[in-house]
Structure formats: C-alpha cells, structure tokens
Structure 1
Amino acid sequence: MVEILSRRRLSLASETGQLVGTILRTLRERVTVGTNLLEIDAWTAEMIAEAGAESCYVDYAPSFGRGPFGHVICTSVNDAVLHGLPRDQVLAPGDLLTLDLAVSLRGVVADSAISFVVGDDPAPADLAMIETTERALEAGIAAAGPHARIGDLSAAIGAVLRAAGYPINMEFGGHGLGSTMHQDPHVANAGAPGRGVRLRPGMLLALEPWVMADTAALRTDADGWTLRSATGCRAAHSEHTIAITRTGAEILTLPTA
C-alpha cells in the first residue's frame, strides 16, 4: 500500500518527525563512554511516553525477526548495522553506535537513524563511513520530488555509496510510511533512474543509506534480530523521513531548534 497523506495529516507527520529528531539529538548528547544500551532504551521510552507517543518497535514482529522486538529503539554497535536489540552492554571508547527510532504520534509515523562514535578519539575510517551515508542521504533527498521515480532516489544514493568504495546490500533499504512504519514503496540503496513508482505530493518516505566497510553480506545474531556484517567489519546508517511536496521534498525528522 502507498499511503497519500492529507494536508492535516502531513502537519501531524511534521510534529512526529520533530519528536523523533529531538529524541535522537538528546540521546546523542547524553550517550557517553560507560552508557549501557539498556539505559538508552529506558531514556527513549521515557521521552516517548512524555510526548504521548508510541514506539513502533515494541510490538514489531516481521517475518525476518524473532518478534516481538520488545524494546523502543534499535541500538547497533560496531559491526551491527540494523535492528540492534538493546542488551546489557556498556559502551566503550571508540564504539560506533547507530540509533534507529520510529515513533507514532496521533496516528502518524516518522522514522530516523543516526550513527556516531562514542568518546573523544574517533577512527578516521569510521567518520568517513558515517559521512558517506549522510551524503548519500542528502543526494537521495535532493533527487526526490513530485515528478521523480523511486529509481531516481535509489540511483542518487547508490552513486554516492559506490563512489566511496562501499559494497551495497539490496535486502534492506528505505520505505514508505504513514499510519504504519513499513509500507510500499521499497527504496533500495542502489537502482536505475527513471524506474519504479512515481512520487506524488503527500507521500512519506524513509530514506536510509547504510553500509558496511568491506562486505554487503549480513549475519543474524542469536537474539534473532541484530543484523551484523558477515566479516565483522564496522557499519554506519543514516536515515530521515521526508514528505513529498509539490516542489520537492521536506525533511521531517529534524530536531526542534
């Protein structure tokens, strides 16, 4: 299903997006060396409850996971890149952490992810990988508009990732959203321009470039959720929810000023 939101629901989506962006910014400011992943989950649950919102992950039980997820945020560390199940793990200096959060507020969902290095001495390779996913995200957003096709966004994202030398996994990517977290269309992180669903004003899309340093292959943890690089290399992930407008695309998951 491809959901087209009314102007009123787009306004609600903007509020949800700001909430998601603000929570992620707060977590980034709060997380330090010695923070436990379960603390991050608890902090997030508290902020979601205070806003009168709901996490999209607690009852999330897709066919590829061992559901329900049972936590409110994904916390992926180092070689983990997607669906990191919060666990009793303390963050160490130099850990590469990805936080992925999807929230529903008044019936409209927004989804975003950030990656950053914990501590004061980040490895240049980690920073380069994070920066590449951010640039790929910017390229995908720039390609979005009411006359574009999904393939245009995928091609723009993939061009940045490939130019930086990263393999691209095609199993997981971006997606539509609205009243639920995962909807059509799928937005792969590489593709051919001019193909796929044509974008329309009122569509919400979550674009999420992610890469692993030296492989495109994933393995699943014993927890049934956490996806890691098959080689043990590190990974990064950036994501925004955007609304397609009559003139282009608006980023919804920016924090409040």
Structure 2
Amino acid sequence: MSFTLATWNINSVRLREPLVAQVLQEEGPDVLCLQECKSPVDKIPLEQFRALGYEHIVARGQKGYNGVAILSKLPIEDVGDRDFAQLGHARHVAAKLANGVTIHNFYVPAGGDKPDREVNVKFGQKLDYLTEMRDWFHAEAPQKAILVGDLNIAPREDDVWDHKKLLRVVSHTPVEVEHLAQTQDAGNWVDVTRQDIPEGNLYSWWSYRSPDWDTADKGRRLDHVWATRDIANAGHSSRVLRHVRGYEKPSDHAPVLATFDL
C-alpha cells in the first residue's frame, strides 16, 4: 500500500477553504493533516472536502483557536487525543489506517515572544507540552506510527534563515531544540523530511510581517513529518509546497508532504 500524506497549518480552515480545496485537487494527497483550524468541528466545511473524495474525517476543534483535523481518502479510525500540559486546547488527534499505521497530528504551542518561562507563561506551556509528549513516548513506545504537524520549532541550523540571529528567537532557541530532540528520541522517531532532504536550507513558514516573503526568504522549518524507525525507510518523495505560500490570502505555512510504501 502506497499513500501520500500532507501536513499544513491552515490558519483558519473556514477562511481558507478554497485554498485547501485547491491543494486537494492539485496534489491529491491520500491524507491531509491540518492544524490551527480555528473552528468547532461542526463548523468545518466537511461537505466540500467530502465532495473532493475526502470522506473520512477525524477532528478536534474549538472556537477561534487551535484545532486539528485529519482528512482522508482512505478509511481511518479515530483513536483518540491527549491534552498535553492540561491546557484544554485542541492540539492533538490520532487516527489509524486499515494497514495498522497510526497517524498523530500535533499543533505544539507557539510559545509567545520571549524565550523565558519566568516572564512568559506561554513559553513555559510550550516546554511543558513537549516534556509530556516525551514522557508519553517513553511510557508507551510508539510503533508503526507517523507523527506530523506544526511543532513550532526549527531544530537545525539550516532550518532557519539565520542561525545566529535566531538563537534567542522563540522557535529556534537551544532549550526548545533540546526539548524537541528529547521528544524525538523518546519515541525513536525519524525526521522523514530530513532523511529525504539531508542538506540545504529548507523552510515551511514565512512571516506575514515580510511583505516580499519570497525574495527575502526569511523562513523557518516549523512543520514536520516523522515516522517510527520500524517504518521510516518506507518514507520517500518528501517536499514542501513553497508556492502555496504565494496564494492569495494564504496561510503563513506551506504544506509538507511525504509518500510511504507500506
């Protein structure tokens, strides 16, 4: 069985319903994981997506904030969610394919502006969220699983436009990178994107604050596709749909895709 999976922070699924439909029509991934849907589940435009062949949907939502959804052409089973750091946010949902692969869709907290938990509660919440993810993976070792989503951390030097300038900027600070590394190690996760594209600058997010985002190219790789080591070698054809960031009224994130032969 071969399937292509995409992850995309959509930054309001109702506002950007036409963009989701365009990507589904042009790329046709078998599974699309969305983050920051900013919608209760009953307000997500499911009929439009079903009309495009995505009849199977698992989602968790809330009004105006957060929210995660998995849209699939393939049958999927809802296998739950977890409220990491007890934030009461819709930031995680999991689904299982018929071949036994579990897909985890995550939206890790952004962490605010100041990388100091003593003065910024949101930064502490982000670190606590990652710590609880790590502890869960230690306690219940994942197998035959794929983890995707906006993890809000660009871990490598070539995952940001300027490593030195961003060392004190939330999303690339050493403490965040270390927390993410511990989470990855705890689940024996492999970064499929970087397994496929091991060298060179690679971004999936460009700030709205940059009016000419494409030319400036001050990006960060915040969106990830991981797989447990038992299936990681089945992943291939990774890519970022950079051009989607240039759509009219876009999300500030671009979709990230990978194909798995399982």
TM-score scaled by structure 2? Answer: 0.30
Q: Which is bigger in relative contact order (C-alpha 8 A, separation at least 6)?
A: 1
